[in-house]
Chain A
Amino acid sequence: MEKTNKMTTGKVSGIIANLVYVEVDGPVQQNEICYIDLEGTKLMAEVIKVMGTKAYVQVFESTRGLKMHNKVEFTGHLLEVTLGPGILSKNYDGLQNDLDKMEGVFLQRGEQTNPLEDDKKWEFKPIAKEGDILQAGGWLGEVTENWMPHKIMVPFKFKGKYTVKSVAKEGKYTIKDVIAVVTDEEGKEIELTMTQKWPVKLAIKAYKEKPRPFKLLETGVRVIDTLNPIAEGGTGFIPGPFGTGKTVLQHALSKQAEADMIIMAACGERANEVVEIFTEFPELIDPRSGRKLMERTTIIANTSNMPVAAREASVYTAMTIAEYYRAMGLKVLLLADSTSRWAQALREMSNRMEELPGPDAFPMDLPAIISSFYSRAGFVYLNNGNTGSITFIGTVSPAGGNLKEPVTESTKKAARCFYALSQQRADSKRYPAIDPLDSYSKYAEYAEVEEYFRKKIDPEWPEKLSLLRNVLTRGREVAEQINILGDDGVPVEYHVTFWKAEVIDFIILQQDAFDEVDSSTSLERQKYMVNKVLDIYHTKFSFESFEEVATYFKRVINQMKQMNYSEFESDKFKQNEKELKTIIDEKKAE
C-alpha cells in the first residue's frame, strides 16, 4: 500500500454542486481520497471516475466559494477508517470524525477530528505467545473497552503468516505504543500498535468460513421473533411508507436485541431521531448486561442535512466497524436507517455525471451495489475457532410507498428477511405495522433453524407457527367475506374465526413500543402467550348471534392486553390471567 513516489496533485477544472473535476498531474486510483484546498480549508473528496487526466471527485462538504484552479492533493489511499479501542460509545459522522470533539454549534467545513484517543491508557493483557503463528485478524492481546474484551489483532491488511516475536506484558498502554512485534515469512520484523486502518469499501475477510446462519437472534419484538425470526448473522430489511414505524422498530431492535454490540447508521434521516438515541441510551439499561445501553452502542450519524456524499460513506464506515468487532468474536447488530437515502445519494451523483440512468434515474449498478453490501453481513467461524456475527437490518423508504421501486426490489433480492410495513396497519394504529402475511423470514425455512427452535423453544414450535399463520390467513379471508356479504350474510362461526385471528393480531402481533413492559418480550414469554392464544383458538365457544361475538372477543382482547402490560408472572399478571379464564369459561361450549 505504501507509496514512495511523489503524491499526485491537481487543479480544479469544473464544479457542479459537490461534483468537481480535477485536472491531475500523475496517477490516481479509483476511489482515492484527495483534499481540495479552499483558501486553507481542506475539503475531503473521493475519486469516482477518471477520464484521461481528468478525475471526477465527489466532495464530502459544501463546495461554496470553490474556484477554478484551486489546488488538489491526492493521498494515495482509499477512504479508510481507523480501528482500535475507543470506538465503542462514540458518535461519529459518516467519515468517522468524532462529533463530540468538534468545536462550536455548527459543523465547520473541513474540520476533522480524531476517531480515537491517542493518550488514553488501556489495560492490556497478552493473548498470543512468542512463537505463535498468526494471520490477519489473529488475536495478540486484549483490552477492556467499557466492559467488553476488545481484541488487539494482526492488521487485516497483512497477507500470509506471521510469527509472534514478542507481546507486551500486562500493563497500561496507549494505542500508539508498540504492543507486539511479529516477523513475516521473509523474516522482516514489524512492530504493531493497537490501531490499524482499513478501506471501508472492501470487506474484511479475516475468517475461516461463513456457514448458513442457524441460531435465532432474539429481538424482543414478537412479530419478528415468533412469526418472522431473524437469525444471528442474518440480513433483513424494513420497507415502508413514511410514518409506518421503520425508525421506531429499529430503535426497539437497538434497545432490546440480544447482541454484544449495536452499530446504528443514521443515514440521511432526521437529526432529532439521533438526538433521541444520544439522550436516551446513556440512561437506559440493557437488561441482559445490566449496563447502560450506550456502553454497547456506536452511532454513525450522517443525517439528511449533512453532506450528501458522506451518506454513502456512512453505511460502509458502519459495516467496516461491524466487521472489526466481529473479528473479535462478538455478536454485532448493524442497523441502517435508511438505505434509500444512500441510494439517492448515488443517484444524485450519477445524474450530475450524466451517466445513462437505470429505472427511476437510479444508477444501473444499484442492485449489485446493494447486494454486495448485504453480503458483508453473516455468521463466521474465525481462524482461531471462535465465532462472530454481523446481523444487518436496513430500512427502505420507497417513493410514494410503492414497493415496486428499484431500491426495494434490489434489496429484496439481497436480504433474507422482509418486514413489510403496511400503511393500512399503521393508519389503524396496529403497531408495529409489520404485515404478518406479506412479510417473511427465509431463515424460518432452514432445517438447522427449525431444529434449533425445537430444541430451544418447543418441540412443536414450527407447527405452532404455521398454525398461527393459517389462522391469520383464514381471518383475513373471512373478513373479506363478511365485507362482501354483510355481518348477517355469513354464519356466526365465521365471526368466531375472524375474532380468533384478531386475538392473535392484538396480543401477539401488536406491541406497544412505548410501554415499559410490553415493548420487549422474552422468548419464554412469547412462547407462553402463543400457547395462550392457541388455547383460545382451540376452544369451542357458543354464541347466539354475531353481535355477541364481537363484544365478547373485545373483552377477551382487553383482558389479554392487561396481561401484556403486566410484568411476566407477577401477581398482576396472574390476576389478569385468572380473570381471563373466567371470561373464557363464560362462553365455552360444553
Chain B
Amino acid sequence: METKAFQKIYTKITQITKATCSLHATDVGYDEIAVVNGRMAQVVKIIGDEITLQVFGGTEGIPTNAEVIFLGRPATLKVSEELSGRFFNAYGDPIDGGPEIEGEERQIGGPSVNPVRRKQPSEFIPTGIAGIDLNNALVTGQKIPFFADPDQPFNQVMSMVALRAKADKIILGGMGLTNDDYLYYKNVFDNAGALDRIISFVNTTEDPPVERLLVPDMALTAAEYFAVDKKQKVLVLLTDMTLFADALSIVSNRMDQIPSKDSMPGSLYSDLAKIYEKAVQFPEGGSITIIAVTTLSGGDITHAIPDNTGYITEGQLFLRKDTDIGKVIVDPFRSLSRLKQLVIGKKTREDHPQVMNAAVRLYADAANARTKLENGFDLTDYDERALEFAKDYSEKLLAIDVNIEVDEMLSTAWNLFDKHFKPAEVGIKKDLVEKYWPKDN
C-alpha cells in the first residue's frame, strides 16, 4: 500500500476492540483511510484528538505500538477499461496475478444521483426463466434480490440470469463467498466466453468478514464508471447481502451502538439503501441494474435483513423447492417485481398482464384446494382441475430450468387455461379471451 513522505506516522494505540482501534492524532478527516500495521482501516469517529479506526482486516495481533499511517483520503478505486476481465479483493487489489490497474482514482461510496437526472426504467431484461419473465419481469435500472434459504441454488440462477441479460458489463461483488462458489462463478463465466466483460470484487469466507463492507462500494464505483462515463448497461451481482449486513452489525456492536431489531444497527435501512439506490437508468443510455442475494434463515422474511431489504429493493424473487414436481421454482406468491408494470403488455404482448394475474390466481385456488385436501375434505371438480393446472404450471412455467421466449410463455399459459378451465373461470377481459383463447377445440 502507498506511503508518502509527508504522511504522519503514529505508534501509540490507546484502545483495541475486535474491529476497531483508537489513538490520538491530529488533522485527520472523517472517513479517511489509514494503514494500521499494514492493514487498511477507516476513520469512523473523531472526538477531540481521539480517533477511532475500523480495521477491515480485524485487529488480531495488532500491538499497541503498531505503526498507523493516515493516507489523507477516503477509500478509492482506480477506474479504466483495464478493469474488464479482472478479479480483485475487497480493497480493489488484483488477485488474479495480473498487473495493477492504471486509471483515474475515484472515491468509493460517492454521492447519489439527483433524482431529476434519472430516467424511468423501461427496458425489459428477458432471462428465459418464465418464473421471472412472465410473473416478475425485470427492467434495466432495477434493484432486486433473490430471497432464498442457503440450500437453494441461487448462485446458479443468478449466473444464468447474468449471462442471458445481454449486459455490457457484469460486475460481481462477492461477500463471504465460499471458495467453491467463487470458482464456480469464474468457471461459468469462462465457459460462456464472457470473462472479458466480467469484473469481480471478491471477499471469500477465508477473508476477514469486516472487509466485506467495502465490496458493494467497490463494485458500484466500477459500475458508475462504465454506466456514466461509458454509457454502458451494467449488471451488478451482490451475493450474499446477508453476510454484508452481519458485518455491519459486528462493527456497530463493537462501537457500542444501541442495536435495534435482530441486533442489527438502527441505521441498517439507510446503509442498505445507499447501496441499492445506486441502481439507475440514465437518460443517455447507461444503466446500473442490481441483482442481489439475501439468504434467509428458515424462510423468515420478517428478520431485519430481508425486511429492510424488501422495503428498499424493487421487489424480490423467492426460490422454493416444489415437492410436487421435484424442482426449484420461482414462487409466484411471494415474488414480486415492482417495475414489471413498466414493460409488461408494453414491451411484451398486450395479454401479458392479464395472463400473468389469471395464472397466479388459479395457482392460488390450487393452494386452497391443497389445504382442503390436507384437512381431509372432499375436493370439488374445480379443485381437482385447479390442482392439475398447478402441477402443469409449475412444471412448464415456474421451474427455473425453463428457458423460452415470452410469447411462448404466454401461449403455454393459454394452453394450460384451455386444458383445465372454461373462459369464465379464468376471468380475463373478454376481448383478450376472444383473441387468444386456443380455438382448435
Residues of A within 8 A of B (CB): 13-17, 21, 62-68, 91, 99-100, 102, 104-109, 241-243, 268, 270-272, 274-276, 278-279, 301, 303-306, 308, 341, 344-345, 347-348, 351-352, 354, 357, 360-361, 397, 399-402, 427-429, 483, 486-489, 514, 546-547, 550-551, 554-555, 557-558, 561-562, 565
> Does B328 sit within 8 A of A, measured CB to CB?
no
Chain A residue with minimal CB distance to B309? A242
- Given A272-B118, A429-B360, also A105-B427 (CB < 8 A): no
- Of the A-B pairs whose beta carbons lie under 8 Å apart in the complex, a sample of 28, sorted by A's number, is A13-B48, A14-B46, A14-B48, A17-B44, A65-B30, A66-B30, A67-B27, A68-B27, A68-B49, A99-B116, A104-B117, A107-B113, A108-B111, A109-B111, A241-B310, A242-B311, A243-B338, A271-B113, A303-B277, A304-B312, A305-B112, A351-B257, A354-B258, A427-B334, A514-B341, A558-B427, A561-B427, A562-B430
> Which A residues touch B360, using CB under 8 A?
429
Is B266 in the interface zone, CB < 8 Å from A?
yes
- What CA separation (Å) do A345 and B366 show in the bound complex? 43
B408 interface contact, C-beta 8 A: no
B256's nearest neighbour on chain A, judged by CB, is A354
Interface assignment of B137: CB less than 8 Å from any CB of chain A: no
Instruction: Check B270–A348 contact: CB distance below 8 A.
Output: yes
Q: B336 near A: Cβ within 8 Å?
A: yes
Smallest CB separation, A73 vs chain B (Å): 19
Which residues 385-441 of B sit at the A interface, judged by CB distance below 8 A? 424-425, 427, 429-430
Q: How far is the CB of B344 from chain A (nearest CB, A)?
A: 10
Contacts of A345 in B (CB 8 A): 270
Question: Nearest CB to that of B353 among chain A residues?
Answer: A514
**Please, which residues of chain A bring their CB within 8 A of the CB of B118?**
271-272, 275
B114 near A65 (CB under 8 angstroms)? no
Q: Report B105-134 CB contacts with A as 1/0, cut-off 8 Å.
A: 001001111111111110000000000000
Q: Which 8 A/B pairs are nearest by Cβ-Cβ distance? A: A304-B273, A305-B277, A400-B302, A486-B377, A242-B310, A64-B31, A305-B112, A65-B29
The reply to whether the CB of B64 lies closer than 8 angstroms to some CB of chain A is: no
**Cβ-based interface call for B197 (8 A):** no
Interface set of B (CB-CB < 8 Å, partner A):
26-32, 44-49, 74, 107, 110-121, 141-142, 228, 257-261, 266-267, 269-270, 273-274, 277-278, 280, 282, 302-304, 307, 310-312, 314-316, 333-334, 336, 338-339, 341, 353, 357, 360-361, 364, 372, 375, 377-378, 380-382, 424-425, 427, 429-430
Tell me the nearest residue of chain B to A12, going by C-beta: B46
Q: Is the CB of B269 within 8 A of A341?
A: yes
Q: Are B261 and A271 in contact (CB under 8 A)?
A: no
Give the distance in Å from the alpha carbon of A15 to the alpha carbon of B258 in the complex: 18
Q: Once the chains bind, are A357 and B258 in contact (CB under 8 Å)?
A: yes
Q: Is the beta-carbon distance between A401 and B302 smaller than 8 angstroms?
A: yes
Q: Nearest A residue to B345 by beta-carbon distance?
A: A514
What is the bound-complex CA distance between A486 and B427, given in angstroms?
25
Nearest chain B CB to A523's CB is how many angstroms away?
25
**Contacting residue for B45 out of A13, A16, A107, CB 8 A:** A16
Which residues of B lie under 8 Å from residue A243 when comparing CB positions? Answer: 310, 315-316, 336, 338
Residues of B close to A546: CB separation below 8 A:
380
B45 contacts A275, C-beta separation under 8 Å: no
A565 proximity list for chain B (CB < 8 A): 429
Q: Return A128 CB to nearest CB of chain B, in Å.
A: 37
Whether A344 and B315, one on each chain, are in contact in the complex, defined by CB atoms closer than 8 angstroms, is no
Closest beta carbon of chain A to B383's beta carbon, Å: 9
Distance between Cα atoms of A62 and B338 in the complex (Å) = 30
Cβ-defined contact, B270 with A304, below 8 A: yes
Alpha-carbon gap, A65 to B70, bound state (A): 12
Contact A272 B315 (CB under 8 A): no
A271-B277 contact in complex given A68-B46, A361-B266, C-beta closer than 8 Å: yes
B141: which A residues are within 8 A, CB to CB? 272
Q: Which of B29, B110, B381, B424 is the one whose CB lies under 8 Å from A554?
A: B424
A272 contacts B310, C-beta separation under 8 Å: no
Rounded to whole Å, the gap between the CB of A337 and the closest CB of chain B is: 11
Q: A63-B30, A487-B380, A562-B430 are in contact. Are A275 and B302 (CB under 8 A)?
A: no
- Given A66-B29, A348-B267, A351-B258; A99-B310 close (CB under 8 Å): no
Chain A residues within an 8 Å CB radius of B49? 68
Q: Are A105 and B282 CB-contacts (below 8 A) given A67-B27, A275-B119?
A: yes
How close is B118's CB to chain A, nearest CB, in angstroms? 5
CB distance from B432 to the nearest CB of A (A): 11
Question: Is A64 within 8 A of B357, CB to CB?
Answer: no
CB pair A106 B259 closer than 8 Å: no
- Given the complex of chains A and B, what is the CA–CA distance between A279 and B121 in angstroms? 10
Distance between Cα atoms of A440 and B414 in the complex (Å): 40
**Interfacial chain B residues near A547, Cβ < 8 Å:** 380-382
- The distance from the CB of A453 to the nearest CB of chain B, in whole angstroms, is 33
Bound state CA distance, A64 and B113, in angstroms?
17
Within the complex, what minimum Cβ distance (angstroms) separates A245 from chain B? 10
List chain A residues, Cβ under 8 A from B427.
554, 557-558, 561
Max count, chain B CB within 10 A of own CB: residue among A14, A270, A397, A401: A270
What separation, in Å, do the CA atoms of A241 and B27 have in the docked complex?
46
Assembly CA distance A217 to B1 (angstroms): 64
Say whether B31 contacts A402, CB under 8 Å. Answer: no
**Which of A15, A100, A268, A557 gathers most chain B CB within 10 Å?**
A15
Instruction: For the complex formed, measure the closest distance between the CB of B192 and the CB atoms of chain A, giving whole angstroms.
Output: 30
Taken together as a complex, chains A and B put the C-alpha atoms of A116 and B257 apart, in Å, by 41
| B32 close to A65 (CB less than 8 A) | yes
Residue of A nearest to B116 (CB): A99
Nearest Cβ distance between residue A166 and chain B, in whole angstroms?
40
Q: Are A68 and B273 in contact (CB under 8 A)?
A: no
Within the complex, the shortest CB–CB distance from B327 to chain A, in Å, comes to 22
CA gap between A106 and B109 in the complex, in Å = 12
Q: Are A428 and B259 in contact (CB under 8 A)?
A: no
CB distance from A310 to the nearest CB of B (A): 12
Knowing A106-B112, A108-B111, A270-B277 are in contact, say whether A351-B378 is a contact too (CB < 8 A): no
Complex: how many Å from CA A486 to CA B220?
55
Contact A275 B364 (CB under 8 A): no
State in angstroms the CA–CA spacing of A487 and B377 once bound together: 8
Of A341, A429, A489, most B-chain CB atoms within 10 Å = A429
A305 and B29 within 8 A (CB): no
Q: Do A308 and B282 touch across chains, with their CB atoms under 8 A apart?
A: no
B110 touching A271 by the CB < 8 A rule? no
| Given pairs A64-B107, A305-B112, A347-B260, 14 additional interface contacts (CB within 8 A) | A15-B30, A63-B31, A99-B114, A99-B116, A107-B113, A270-B277, A271-B112, A272-B339, A275-B118, A275-B120, A278-B120, A344-B269, A554-B424, A558-B424
Q: Which residues of B contact A562 (CB under 8 A)?
A: 429-430
Q: Which residues in B have their C-beta under 8 angstroms from that of A14?
A: 46-48
Given the contacts A271-B115, A347-B260, A554-B427, A429 and B315 also touching, CB distance less than 8 Å: no
Of the candidates A108, A306, A308, A488, the one having the most CB atoms from chain B within 10 angstroms of its own CB is A306
Among residues of B, the one whose C-beta sits closest to the C-beta of A427 is B333
Known A-B contacts A104-B114, A278-B116, A547-B381; the reply to A400 vs B47 at CB < 8 A is no
Q: Say whether B31 contacts A278, CB under 8 Å.
A: no
**Cβ B48 vs Cβ A68 within 8 A:** yes
> Chain A residues with Cβ under 8 A from B315's Cβ?
243
Task: Name the B residues within 8 Å of A99 (CB-CB).
Answer: 114-116
- Chain A CB count within 10 A is highest, among B26, B116, B258, B333, for B116
CA distance A305 to B361 in the complex (A): 36
- Bound form: Cα–Cα A460–B66 in Å: 83
**Shortest Cβ distance from residue A562 to the other chain B in the assembled complex, whole angstroms:** 6
Beta-carbon nearest neighbor of A101 in chain B? B116
Complexed CA–CA distance, A360 and B304 (Å): 12
> Given contacts A14-B48, A63-B31, A351-B257, are A399 and B113 in contact (CB under 8 A)?
no
Q: CA of A16 to CA of B43 in the docked complex: distance in angstroms?
A: 10
In the bound complex, do residue A487 and residue B258 qualify as a contact, i.e. CB atoms below 8 Å apart?
Answer: no
User: In whole Å, how far is B385's beta carbon from the nearest beta carbon of chain A?
Assistant: 11
**In the complex, what residues of B have CB within 8 A of residue A308's CB?**
267, 270
Q: How far is the CA of A361 from the CA of B266 in the complex (A)?
A: 8
B260: which of A303, A361, A557 is its contact (CB, 8 Å)? A361
